[in-house]
Structure 1
Amino acid sequence: MADASVSEAKGGPMLAADGTPLKKSLSRALRRQKMRALALIAPLLVFVLLTFVLPIGDMLLRSIKNDIVAETLPATVVELADWDPEAEALPGDDVWMAFYVDMWFASERKEHTRLGTRLNYEQTGVSSLFRKTGRRVDRFDTDVYADQFVALDAAWENPATFASLLDSDAADALPVTADAWARWKDFNEEEGDKVLEEDVPDFLYTALYHDLSKAPQVSGPALSAAAAAVPGFETVSLPEQFEDADEDWMDPEVWKTIQLYSPRVTSGYFANAADMQLTPEGIQQRPENEQIYGTLFKRTLFMSLMITGSCILLAYPVAWLLANLPMRVANLLMILVLLPFWTSLLVRTSAWKVMLQQQGVINDVLVWLGLVADDARLTMINNQFGTIVAMTHILLPFMILPMYSVMQTIPPTYLRAAKSLGATNWTAFWRVYFPQSVPGIGAGSILVFILAIGYYITPEIVGGNTGTFISNRIAYHISSSLNWGLAAALGTILLVVVLVLYWAYDKIVGIDNVKLG
């Protein structure tokens, strides 16, 4: 302290006991505290990052990611870029040549089925089209080119001939053949084979014919002789080969779909999630009979609000009783409230299915009481009513507990004071007690609504065709149709809707007014 005073008297910086400037010493101590605090919360931050932030980021990425077309058909995508889909004509020879090479490699790597599945989401029937073609592409009649080149010069049968030509300046005059050769070398390396010991595939001879028929001039005796002989070669039509594999290749709509979904980033998933479709002319509305997701989103919001409202009506009196009854009775009631948590969700949902069906307990009781005729039993299952009832029962404890925790903090003397000042029971409750319980209602409502809007097990069991949520469709695309891109787009839209509603709630009610006791 004396050192600090002396330093201050001399006009210099204040020093700590160890002689360092006091400001620097305080900054160091504060930095150490922050590092210790960060080390304490680091496990939680890592857990949140791995289980919450990264999955959401992956979902957002999958909703726009579209690599499979460009990776499986790289040469076709490049050639199709110049094709005019509005001309209603099939692509030219360059596209067919590129597609032949791409399909050969895709078939060998077993990637054509994945590609067909992806494009089948946009145009029905494309999946079987790619499967059938993948089985046939290796048996195309293009071996006639191999026979003619080998008959012209036996050296063409040797892979070393292609290697010497295509690893030199001659590759510039043979772009398609050079690209096919480079890809074939990479493919053999992947398989652990030596390219110079393998038989030259038919697609390389086809590519060589394609290049030589267009090359204005080539150098070297072998290429010059082949170029001179090519005009007299017997030819094979690649479009006809593909048509023999499946006549749907003659449909320009198939090629439009391939071109449309060739970019690595696409808005097609979000377009489908909004009941629209991506077309060469832009995003357009789907036919009315194909618009299902808008209806599902509206139904999900409506039913989630109904479930939240029914939980509020049922939970408020229960929470009031828990907060105002003697401790022993309140504890017994609390055990009954928590009891559903000890029972399987599937058991509780299945129980409601048994109770609500037309031959179930509730209908039998109504018939026995004479309130319902035996031939006019109520339909309370496989619809919205059944979903609302079952989910209200399941989510009710999540509304009771926040309400109870807040009501427990409201002193009962407030009501007695209000009554002593002349207020009726209703006025004392509405003007004094209810406003203080609103934070508990807000906390329970947010909790129940967010849980309800993402539920899919209960609606799947008791909802039927009219009581399912958008989450059921998301689960279907993840587990059954395997359209993860569309599922990610639907999940992203649902996330945005929840965030918007949360923002609106904060603006109207105020998130600061939400309490858990």
Structure 2
Amino acid sequence: MKLARTTRTAWFLVLPLLAFLVATFIGPIALMLLRSTYDPELAELMPRTGAALAAWDGAGMPPTTAFDAARADLATSAQQGTTGRLILRLNREGSRLGPLIEATCAALQTRPTAQLMDLDPQWQSRAVWQVLARQTQIFTATHFLNAFDFKADADGNIEPQDPERRIYVPLLLRTLGVAATVTILCALLGYPLAHTIARSGPRLRLVLLFAVMLPFWTSLLVRATAWIVLLQRKGVLNEMLVAVGILGDNQRLELIYNLTGTIIVMVHVLLPFFVLPLYSVMIGLPGAYVRASASLGAWPLYTFWRVYLPLTYPGIASGSILVFVLSLGYYVTPALVGGRTGQLISNQIAFHMQQSLNWGLAAALGSVLLAIVIMIALALPLLTQRGGLRI
């Protein structure tokens, strides 16, 4: 009985945390996954057309009820002023039906009883009805196809996007490349820094840890602005290089508003996320292993390669994964200092959420990033286990 009361008390203490996680983490992720395939907008704008085309197999022309349903939906759209939403939704998928819908809605206001084919001969095209049949479905794979630069043709076959619309796969590859580059640079810079902190005396260690933690206490906007001042063409770094004669005035380096600036600023921001996990591993390593290797006649470099580096591998793996995952979803830094060539997939997601209002595509792109993070999380126990490095 006492155990049961204790269990109930423990659950009451945990329930607020579970509710918080569901509301702020699990719920939004579930909603994102749903929005990536659930798209009822066109079905709500053209409900009669969607119902009439639901049983159509796509062969030949649709039944006459579909023509009457489409005419009624377009007339209603013109009366309610939702024609703009309808055109935007159709053009979003590259269907190029916007001019046809606009012209038909305008004509129906003066000729409400006219047949669609009398208003515009394009309504005799089977391809138009195939697009409407596909887009009026509530659940669709269109957004995921777009996320991988594919599309469905009029017959439903999967084919690559037009060359000018193939932007998401190159952007995703750029994001993965930037994340890998930032991770490697953080490892090269952070490993000696973490080693120095771990082997320093108490006072110097406190100062170095304060220096590592200082970026956490500084606004990200302030840090980005400071880097803009340092790296721009008339910035501090270029002025110093010109002043000492290393560069001419017309040879100033382009270090900002491009991919280079994005990488530099991201390394500065994310370096503590690599140093701190590695430092926590290094500070707990006994020095007896290194001394034993040296006493057996091993050279310092060989001792580092065969003894010290494998022992610090869990910290390297943890810090690298943390930096890589954070780099995948980084948004503020590329938006501020990335310019046109330094944008990442997160900036495209923000664009579709805030400007194009294509939330389905934004959710699909976010789901792709989520899948990558989940695969990394599943591999994390294997990558961080002690002795995982084999040299």
Q: State the TM-score, normalized to the length of structure 2.
A: 0.89
Pick closer, same or farther for the CA change 1:339–1:105 going to 2, 3 Å.
Answer: same
SS class of match (1:370): coil
CA contact (8 A) 2:238 2:252 kept: yes
Correspondent of 1:105 among 65, 76, 81: 76
Correspondent of 2:65 among 94, 98, 110: 94
1:99-151, CA deviations, whole angstroms, 9 ceiling, x for partnerless residues? 222234344555444333222211365456656655664x3334xxxxxxxxx
Pick closer, same or farther for the CA change 1:33–1:513 going to 2, 3 Å.
Answer: farther
Counterpart-to-counterpart distance in 1, 2:224 and 2:84: 39
Q: Does 1:268 align with 2:142?
A: yes
Q: Which residue of 2 aligns with 1:257?
A: 131
Pick closer, same or farther for the CA change 1:125–1:346 going to 2, 3 Å.
Answer: farther
Q: Which residue of 2 aligns with 1:53?
A: 26
1:345-367, CA deviations, whole angstroms, 9 ceiling, x for partnerless residues? 11211222232222222222222
CA contact (8 A) 2:52 2:69 kept: yes
Pick closer, same or farther for the CA change 1:425–1:253 going to 2, 3 Å.
Answer: same
Gaps of at least 5 residues in structure 1 are: 1-27, 143-205, 207-235
Q: Does 1:66 align with 2:36?
A: no
Gaps of at least 5 residues in structure 2 are: none
Q: Which residue of 2 aligns with 1:409?
A: 284
Equivalent residue runs for 1:43-442 within 5 Å: 43-81=16-54, 93-123=64-94, 126=97, 130=101, 137=108, 139-142=109-112, 236-240=114-118, 242-243=119-120, 253-279=127-153, 280-442=155-317
**Partner letter of residue 38 of structure 1?**
W
CA contact (8 A) 2:78 2:106 kept: yes
Counterpart-to-counterpart distance in 1, 2:289 and 2:115: 92
**Partner letter of residue 135 of structure 2?**
Y
**Partner letter of residue 102 of structure 1?**
D
Q: Which residue of 2 aligns with 1:498?
A: 373
Cα displacement (A) at 1:268:
0.6
**Partner letter of residue 33 of structure 2?**
L
Pick closer, same or farther for the CA change 1:418–1:403 going to 2, 3 Å.
Answer: same
SS class of match (1:468): coil
Counterpart-to-counterpart distance in 1, 2:263 and 2:35: 32
Counterpart-to-counterpart distance in 2, 1:115 and 1:30: 61
Q: Which residue of 1 aligns with 2:10?
A: 37
Pick closer, same or farther for the CA change 1:68–1:330 going to 2, 3 Å.
Answer: same
CA contact (8 A) 1:65 1:265 kept: yes
Cα displacement (A) at 1:81:
4.5
1:357-379, CA deviations, whole angstroms, 9 ceiling, x for partnerless residues? 22222222222233223222222
Counterpart-to-counterpart distance in 1, 2:36 and 2:136: 15
Correspondent of 2:356 among 465, 481, 489: 481
CA contact (8 A) 1:122 1:257 kept: no
Cα displacement (A) at 1:250:
6.7
1:429-451, CA deviations, whole angstroms, 9 ceiling, x for partnerless residues? 33333222211111111111111
**Partner letter of residue 292 of structure 1?**
I
Cα displacement (A) at 1:506:
4.2
RMSD: 2.7
Cα displacement (A) at 1:269:
0.6
Counterpart-to-counterpart distance in 2, 1:82 and 1:413: 76
Counterpart-to-counterpart distance in 1, 2:103 and 2:27: 38
Question: Comparing 92-101 with 310-319, which one deviates more in the overlay?
Answer: 92-101
Counterpart-to-counterpart distance in 2, 1:86 and 1:474: 37
CA contact (8 A) 1:117 1:126 kept: no
Q: Does 1:443 align with 2:323?
A: no
Correspondent of 2:343 among 455, 464, 468: 468
Max radius of gyration: which structure?
1
SS class of match (1:66): coil
Counterpart-to-counterpart distance in 2, 1:249 and 1:376: 60
Q: State the TM-score, normalized to the length of structure 1.
A: 0.68
Question: Comparing 378-387 with 468-477, which one deviates more in the overlay?
Answer: 378-387
1:154-173, CA deviations, whole angstroms, 9 ceiling, x for partnerless residues? xxxxxxxxxxxxxxxxxxxx
Aligned length: 387
Equivalent residue runs for 1:6-21 within 5 Å: none
Counterpart-to-counterpart distance in 1, 2:222 and 2:126: 52
SS class of match (1:441): helix
CA contact (8 A) 1:113 1:130 kept: no
CA contact (8 A) 1:454 1:471 kept: yes
Q: Does 1:459 align with 2:334?
A: yes
Higher relative contact order (CA 8 A, sep 6+): 2
CA contact (8 A) 2:321 2:376 kept: no
Question: Comparing 356-365 with 450-459, which one deviates more in the overlay?
Answer: 356-365
**Partner letter of residue 303 of structure 2?**
A
Cα displacement (A) at 1:252:
5.4
SS class of match (2:152): strand
Cα displacement (A) at 1:455:
0.2
SS class of match (1:499): helix
1:330-353, CA deviations, whole angstroms, 9 ceiling, x for partnerless residues? 111211111112221112112222
CA contact (8 A) 1:276 1:283 kept: yes
Counterpart-to-counterpart distance in 2, 1:72 and 1:291: 28
Counterpart-to-counterpart distance in 2, 1:512 and 1:128: 63
